[in-house]
Chain A
Amino acid sequence: MANRIPRVPVREQDPKVRATNFEEVCYGYNEEEALLEASRCLHCKNPRCVAACPVNLQIPDFIAKLAEGDVQGAAEIVAKDSSLPAVCGRVCPQETQCEGSCILGVKSEPVAIGKLERFVGDFAVSQRSQNRGESEEFRDFAESQNLSTSSDPTIPLRCMVPPLPCRGRHVPAGSGSAGIAKIAIIGSGPAGLACASDLAKMGYDVTIFEALHKAGGVLEYGIPEFRLPKEKVLKPAIDSVKALGVKIETNVIVGRTVTIDQLMDEEGFKAVFIGTGAGLPKFMGIPGENLNGVFSANEFLTRNNLMKAYRSDYMTPIHAGRKVCVVGGGNVAMDAARTALRLGAEVHIVYRRTEVELPARREEVHHAKEEGIVFDLLTNPVEVLGDEKGWVRALKCVRMELGEPDESGRRSPVVIPGSEFEITADTVIMALGTSPNPLIARTTDGLETTRRGCLVAAEDGATTREGIFAGGDAVTGAATVILAMGAGRTAAKAIDQYLKNK
């Protein structure tokens, strides 16, 4: 019985060693391990994993190909639904999505779908770079993983440009004598990249506008190198989107450098997709938050990820201090904590609920603990205390207990009276979540936002203004990479429909 094989463990960097470097924590499966793990799938008639995936990845199908040893075939199936499998295999919260609904998980461990997706995604990357003959690095990678490559090196492997999900030849709207319709995508994060690739595959002329100097959005500035290697994984993923014909213009802040109206009226874009994410950091509003040594997780992570502060050859300064308190319990809190640890600090996570309620992926919490991060749970800061020079010296906290469940279903924490105490620290990092940037809504007439600053959009991404669509965190508030990708794909279909009906 296939399901009698225990879940194949994944090799990881030793916690003591990785706590001092920024190299990837998880090594992923090699081919032998991947094929063995793939053989555990039961191929359910009604696969719950597919329904639980925001992009409905055909999970049993690609795993079946993989189990046969046809990695290329598996990659082709994955490519139909995801332009970023190497990314999603690494950062998706599989335990609450595909793996969380895997039937094997009822009695034992679910199939390691994420690790298999990553294996297939990395294979596709190595194939692409081989086809272009650009990088020796990826060939080495493929060889190190014992991946089967073409038996005859003179025959070029089939290009891994993902095939179209639709049947027959897709004819984009406006492909007549007036030329192919131009579409503007604002933001090069997961939502924008997914939307852009689908539209490019349909044949549209797509340009992504990115405010920062590098494409990738949160994948570039937010998620650290040790979880998502930039050169090895993210850059090839973005290159694959560019290979579809998508243009990326960096250093364009839509709303300041150019407005949506200018793009549509003066530059001839027929439709716009807004995938600007949720980039504004929240603070607690407690006394002492503007002391020196208090940072948003966004600042801390952007300095280290986008601006490469951890590398001595880059000029970016970063302040990790000796003892850091990271306030919050989400993935961003874990990322900030583990980054500070790698920069040499002792790190405490301060979170007001218990471990069960931590919103972070289970794997991140597990890795953080292994690396020596201390969790101060049921603890809530009430003030940041400073020294005579205005630098942080301690975090004043109160102890909490769990009360009744709130509207989100989580039990809300209640302060235990008289429980105030101090945690000594010279750095405090606030990782309390983020909200959408109001810039585009403020500079575009007719775009409605919710009370929380999110863009109002229908199921298919249509905003309150004709021709303008939106998706991802800009609509939902801070969520996940895969949900943003799903929203980008849905909007791509709606944009195609809109342009055809116009």
Chain B
Amino acid sequence: MYTILSKEMLTPNICRMRVKAPRLASSAKPGQFLIVRADEKGERVPLTISDYDAAEGSVTIVTQKIGASSADIISFEAGEAFADVVGPLGLPSEFLKKSPEELAAQHYIFIAGGLGTAPVYPQVKWLHEHGAKVDVIIGARTKDLLIYTEELGAVCDNLYICTDDGSCGFHGVGTAQLEALVAAGEKFTQAVAIGPMIMMKFSTLTCRKLGIPIVVSLNTLMVDGTGMCGACRVTVGGKTRFACVEGPEFDGYEVDFDEAMRRQTQYKAEEAAENEHHVCRIGRGK
């Protein structure tokens, strides 16, 4: 059983859970993701791994209430258990292969948007522990939607917070903050953007302009997550790739974001109908 060890609401709609999954916890690496199926009738929902603790046998997931399936996941309380948690899925981040010398020569800039801030954490933590210089830009619509500021602050060199409404930190989007930093003389060798598809698209456009290589982590549709269904097809460098097994991280310059955004909407009509007719199953099986 995949018991929920702890649960806390980071914002009114974003929830952090520590879940017992010993095999997964001992093999998870930065950049990988997992799939949760809340109960027998639930969907298989791909989620990023926000942290993992092999000793405790637990993984941390951060979920935002968007549709019926994410609402179901969030409805679970500590002490209850999910039907299924499987992973780690996808390839670990490329930088895990780098030597200590290569890492010491790097200056990373992470651009995190909304929920995408959570999976940035294990990557930044790993790089920081392995001697790379890492700065992080966290972007959110408003102050109340910012997550992981303390956690990231503790493991990066410089943390930049931006809000669209100026309620906290830099007044503007993450890409504007990046341009301001470069203009002020910062020389980043590698950018990593994780967040909504549209934010990763604009981060890529900005990085291209600034001449910084960028890696993006694609949150595509998926069923099995093991290469079986092909729902996660993305065009990268003119070739069709499966984000679940060949990703989720790709060279941002090569990704066809417009196609990826369009493909994300494939089940919108069906999901809208589901949300409308969704019978809340909170309290099931108790």
The chain A residues found within 8 Å of chain B, CB to CB, are 211-213, 221, 250-253, 256-258, 279-281, 283, 289-290, 292-293, 295-296, 298-299, 302-303, 307-308, 312-319, 389-390, 437, 439
Q: How many A-B residue pairs have CB under 8 A?
A: 108
Known: A283-B240, A298-B230, A389-B262. 15 other contacts (CB 8 A): A221-B224, A251-B84, A251-B85, A257-B86, A279-B226, A290-B233, A290-B235, A298-B229, A299-B223, A299-B229, A313-B41, A316-B43, A317-B271, A319-B266, A437-B226
Contacts of B274 in A (CB 8 A): 315, 317
Contact: B43 with A307, CB < 8 Å? yes
Contact: A319 with B41, CB < 8 Å? no
Contact: B229 with A302, CB < 8 Å? yes
Contact: B86 with A279, CB < 8 Å? no
Contact digits for B251-284, partner A, Cβ 8 Å, 1 yes 0 no: 0000000010011011101110010011000000
A386 nearest CB neighbor, chain B only: B262
Task: Give the distance in Å from the alpha carbon of A7 to the alpha carbon of B256 in the complex.
Answer: 58
Contacts of A289 in B (CB 8 A): 240
Contact: A257 with B240, CB < 8 Å? no
Interface extent on B, as a size class?
35 or more
Given contacts A250-B84, A290-B263, A315-B72, contact A302 B23 (CB under 8 A): no
Selected A-B contacts with CB under 8 Å, 7 pairs: A221-B228, A251-B85, A279-B227, A280-B227, A298-B228, A314-B41, A317-B267
For the complex formed, measure the closest distance between the CB of B249 and the CB atoms of chain A, giving whole angstroms: 15
A250, A251, A295, A312 — most chain B CB neighbours (10 Å)? A251
For the complex formed, measure the closest distance between the CB of A433 and the CB atoms of chain B, giving whole angstroms: 13
Contacts of A315 in B (CB 8 A): 41-43, 68-69, 72, 274, 278
Contacts of A390 in B (CB 8 A): 259, 262
For the complex formed, measure the closest distance between the CB of B269 and the CB atoms of chain A, giving whole angstroms: 8
Contact: B230 with A257, CB < 8 Å? no
A252, A253, A312 — most chain B CB neighbours (10 Å)? A253
B232 nearest CB neighbor, chain A only: A299
A252 nearest CB neighbor, chain B only: B23
Pick from B227, B269, B271: contact of A439, CB under 8 Å: B227
Contacts of A281 in B (CB 8 A): 228-230
Task: Give the distance in Å from the alpha carbon of A319 to the alpha carbon of B274 in the complex.
Answer: 13
Contact: B267 with A437, CB < 8 Å? no
Contact: B263 with A292, CB < 8 Å? yes
Pick from B44, B68, B223, B259: contact of A290, CB under 8 Å: B259
Chain B binding surface, main DSSP class: mixed
Task: Give the distance in Å from the alpha carbon of A258 to the alpha carbon of B88 in the complex.
Answer: 9
Contacts of B6 in A (CB 8 A): none
B15 contacts chain A at the CB level, 8 A cutoff: no
Pick from B44, B69, B228: contact of A279, CB under 8 Å: B228
Contacts of B233 in A (CB 8 A): 290
A285 nearest CB neighbor, chain B only: B240
For the complex formed, measure the closest distance between the CB of B123 and the CB atoms of chain A, giving whole angstroms: 18
Contacts of A299 in B (CB 8 A): 223, 229-231
Contacts of A296 in B (CB 8 A): 229-231
Task: Give the distance in Å from the alpha carbon of A213 to the alpha carbon of B267 in the complex.
Answer: 22
B72 nearest CB neighbor, chain A only: A315
Given contacts A283-B230, A292-B263, A315-B69, contact A303 B271 (CB under 8 A): no
Contacts of A295 in B (CB 8 A): 230-231
Task: Give the distance in Å from the alpha carbon of A252 to the alpha carbon of B228 in the complex.
Answer: 15
Residues from 64 to 97 in B contacting A, C-beta threshold 8 Å: 68-69, 72, 83-89
- 8 smallest A-B Cβ distances: which pairs? A317-B270, A299-B229, A251-B86, A317-B267, A296-B230, A213-B84, A279-B228, A390-B262
Contacts of A437 in B (CB 8 A): 226-228
B24 contacts chain A at the CB level, 8 A cutoff: yes
B7 contacts chain A at the CB level, 8 A cutoff: no
Task: Give the distance in Å from the alpha carbon of A178 to the alpha carbon of B189 in the complex.
Answer: 56
Given contacts A257-B27, A292-B266, contact A303 B223 (CB under 8 A): yes
Contact: A319 with B228, CB < 8 Å? no
Task: Give the distance in Å from the alpha carbon of A373 to the alpha carbon of B30 in the complex.
Answer: 48
Contact: A257 with B88, CB < 8 Å? yes
Residues from 84 to 124 in B contacting A, C-beta threshold 8 Å: 84-89
Task: Give the distance in Å from the alpha carbon of A316 to the alpha carbon of B37 in the complex.
Answer: 11
